[in-house]
Amino acid sequence: MLDQILRLFITVLAAVGGLMITDRIMPLLTAVISEEFLRIGVFGVTMTTILSFIIGGLVGGILGFLVAPLFIKHLWRFTYWVEVKLNKMPVYDIIAGALGLAIGLIISNLLGSAFLPIPIVGKYVPLILSIILGYLGINVAIRKREELISMFSSLPNLPWLNKDNKDGKDGKDHGKEQQQGGVSQPKILDTSVIIDGRIADICKSGFIEGTLIIPIFVLEELQHIADSSDLLKRNRGRRGLDILNRMQKELELSIQIDTLDFEDIAEVDSKLIKLGQTLKAKIITNDYNLNKVSELQGVPVLNINELSNAVKPVVLPGEEMTVHVVKDGKEFGQGVAYLDDGTMIVVDGGKKHIGETVGVLVTSVLQTAAGRMIFAKPKVMA
């Protein structure tokens, strides 16, 4: 139906064009046809008008009708090409490009009006300026998109920046969300914390507020790990993807896939830091090095390992506990046991109690960035 409407429109347009062209060249026919013949007419319709309709309108309409299918075919190809290109572009690039184009056209219109009085070329200068400045505006705006996003994200009262998108299908709403306890920053998840899996339970318990952002380059890294030939890596990658699917289905939080990529940056960790700076967001990670580098660059970090250590029960020297010794330690005569939360207990003289449940007395506690280690000895030795 749409093709038929377009074909009719092109036919009418070609007929009108042919009529206008014929009307312009009709005075030249006086060299071939007598002027008296051209003036013959009835009810004000002269032979000139009749010939214009027959030669120009009819011929133009027929040509337009015949050429229309080819034109429509190429029009649909061009439309499909533009659609594919736009689908591949991040939404930030499209918005920034449109903004840059508008600014470029406004400037070209202001400058072009000054050239209109110039004879011959004056009326063409605005068109040339529009093409040049429009193209320049698009390129500059796309290259400066991070700064534009950062500028607009700092405005808290823009509804399109603060919109809460519950389907989590795109990454365009990264403004600060108003929560009952105040303003909650968006949180960016890195690969390590997704694979770890504890983030799903933490979010489900309600300790995490705001929007969770999954960068597109983190998804690509997860997919690359899931496609690895190494069995261990493949299982880790698939576990991460399964956790993301479970979070999207079960959690009430807004989970968004962010399509902003930094093609000039190679490392994923550097991209995460840059994204955190751009969106004014926090990074949730288990990576100790990423944690330190992010803090040095002014990006706040939530470390799941630090949270895990913080919520572990406090154990003081002199306390008694009952443990199950499972293996020998590194030093002579040592045995190793574990608490329910995974904390390792080194039992001095516990090697002979391997496989037994014994009461121990805590002698010291060692706290490190990687976790906590408890040193103890059997009560019979105390």
Instruction: Supply φ then ψ for residue 9, to 5 degrees.
Output: -65, -45
Mind listing the pLDDT tens digit for each residue in 294-313? 888 888 999 888 887 777 77
Per-residue burial over 132-168, b = 16 or more CB atoms within 10 Å of its CB, e = otherwise:
ebbebbbeebbeebbebbeeebeeeeeeebbeeeeeb
Burial grade of 199 (CB within 10 A; 0-12, 13-18, 19 or more):
buried
User: Does the pLDDT of residue 173 top 50, yes or no?
Assistant: no
Model confidence band, residue 27 (pLDDT cutoffs 50, 70, 90): low
DSSP of 343-366 = -EEEETT-GGGTT-EEEEEEEEEE
Mean pLDDT of 324-334: 88
Radius of gyration (C-alpha) of the chain in whole angstroms: 36
Q: For the chain, give the mean pLDDT.
A: 80
Mind listing the pLDDT tens digit for each residue in 70-105? 888 888 898 888 888 777 777 777 888 889 999 999
Residue 103, pLDDT score: 92
DSSP of 239-293 = HHHHHHHHHHHH--S-EEEE----TT---HHHHHHHHHHHHT-EEEE--HHHHHH
Sign of torsion, CA 232 235 240 243? negative
Q: Is 99 helix (H, G, I), strand (E, B) or coil?
A: helix
Q: Cα separation of 107 and 133, whole Å?
A: 8
Identify residue 47 by its one-letter amino acid code. M
Mind listing the pLDDT tens digit for each residue in 102-153? 999 999 988 888 888 888 788 888 889 999 999 998 888 888 877 777 676 6
Q: Is 337 helix (H, G, I), strand (E, B) or coil?
A: strand
Mind listing the pLDDT tens digit for each residue in 181-222? 445 688 899 888 898 888 888 888 888 888 888 888 888 888
For the full predicted model, state whether its pTM sits above 0.75.
Answer: no
Residue 157, pLDDT score: 54
Show Cβ contacts of residue 147 under 8 Å, excluding neighbours closer than 6 positions.
none
Sign of torsion, CA 129 135 140 142? positive
Q: Cα separation of 203 and 252, whole Å?
A: 9
Residue 336, pLDDT score: 93
Show Cβ contacts of residue 284 under 8 Å, excluding neighbours closer than 6 positions.
187, 188, 189, 190, 193, 199, 208, 301, 302, 303, 304
DSSP structural state of residue 176: P
Instruction: Supply φ then ψ for residue 289, to 5 degrees.
Output: -65, -45
Domains of the chain by range and CATH? Answer: 1-28+47-88 (no CATH), 101-151 (no CATH), 187-310 (3.40.50.1010), 315-378 (2.40.50.140)
